[in-house]
Amino acid sequence: MYSRREFLKYTALSGASLLLSSPLNAFHNRSAISTEFSIEDLMGKSKLNLYGKGFNLREEAANSLSAMLKEASKSGFNPYVVSSYRSYNHQKRIWNNKYTRFTKDGLSPQATIEKIIKYSTIPGTSRHHWGTDFDIIGSAKNIPSNPLHEKHFNQGGQYHAFKLWLNENSIQFGFKEVYTNNPDRKGFKYEPWHFSYATTACKMLSQYIEKEVIGELYKADIMGAENFTQEFLSRYLKENILDINPELIP
């Protein structure tokens, strides 16, 4: 196990190189300093002022989502927001429940962690902590038991038409898909339902790297955290946090 100081030194260098190589680095330099986010903000541990009817987001994101939902209704859709802001403790419950279930099924701690992070984030690293991201489906009626499944958004699926509408219109309201359908992308699987309010989320991701928040996982109060090594957290940072839609990299 590496010391937290050694890990932070390593991730600071790797994170800096990723940011410097970004084509949007000029934007990052101009705008990221305009709003300061605390480590607690970035990890979902602070109390936010949340807005929205049927969802909870930061004010600007909530206003934009409300406008997008109104526009979608004009096109004949009745969208439903399945998930929006999620606190650290909420994500911790999700994580611990899955960790308990998978280890009881006989998986090793390491295999359990790898299985969880195919779709679920480590508490303290979820974009849902930021109040900028949400999961959305095409209708509040006849919701299947597993609405957040790719098959529902593919051709022939009940949300396919709405997905096409999102692809065409979401950017007009400042939203971008996070985990794109790119076979070369690593980290989390394709999530056609997950969108992010880009203006604020890019600033928060930038500060997440600058403040070396990933190092806080060394003292995380979650099941299995004792198995987090430097190699694992470095890979998780690179693949799960940063290998996303390049338009959301600051």
Range of the domain at 229: 4-139+153-248
Residue 146 domain-assigned? Answer: no
95, 123 in Cβ contact below 8 A? yes
List 149's β-bridge partners, or say none. none
Round to whole Å and give the CA distance between 90 and 231: 26
Residue 202 domain-assigned? Answer: yes
Residue 226 domain-assigned? Answer: yes
User: Any idea how long the chain is?
Assistant: 250
What's this model's pTM, rounded to 2 decimal places?
0.85
Residue 114, token pair as written in the block = 């790898």
DSSP 52: -
Round to whole Å and give the CA distance between 30 and 202: 12
Residue type, 116: I
Residue 168 domain-assigned? Answer: yes
Neighbours of 39 (CB within 10 A): 16
pLDDT of residue 19: 47
Residue 144 domain-assigned? Answer: no
pLDDT tens by residue, 47-58: 999 999 999 999
CATH classification at residue 82 = 3.30.1380.10
Residue 145 domain-assigned? Answer: no
Distances in whole angstroms, Cα of residue 1 to Cα of each of 23, 82, 113, 227: 35, 38, 17, 9
Residue 121 domain-assigned? Answer: yes
List 137's β-bridge partners, or say none. 80
pLDDT of residue 34: 65
Round to whole Å and give the CA distance between 30 and 32: 6
pLDDT tens by residue, 149-187: 999 999 999 999 999 999 999 999 999 999 999 999 999
Distances in whole angstroms, Cα of residue 127 to Cα of each of 43, 70, 131, 157: 9, 24, 8, 26
Give me the number of domains the chain comprises.
1
pLDDT of residue 30: 41
Q: Quick one: how far is CA 101 from the chain centroid?
A: 23
Which of 19, 51, 13 has the alpha carbon at shortest distance from 32?
19
> What are the pLDDT tens digits along the chain (250 aa)?
444 455 454 454 454 444 444 434 433 444 444 689 999 999 999 999 999 999 999 999 999 999 999 999 999 999 999 999 999 999 999 999 999 999 999 999 999 999 999 889 999 999 999 999 999 999 999 999 999 999 999 999 999 999 999 999 999 999 999 999 999 999 999 999 999 999 999 999 999 999 999 999 999 999 999 999 999 999 999 999 999 999 999 8
Residue 112 domain-assigned? Answer: yes
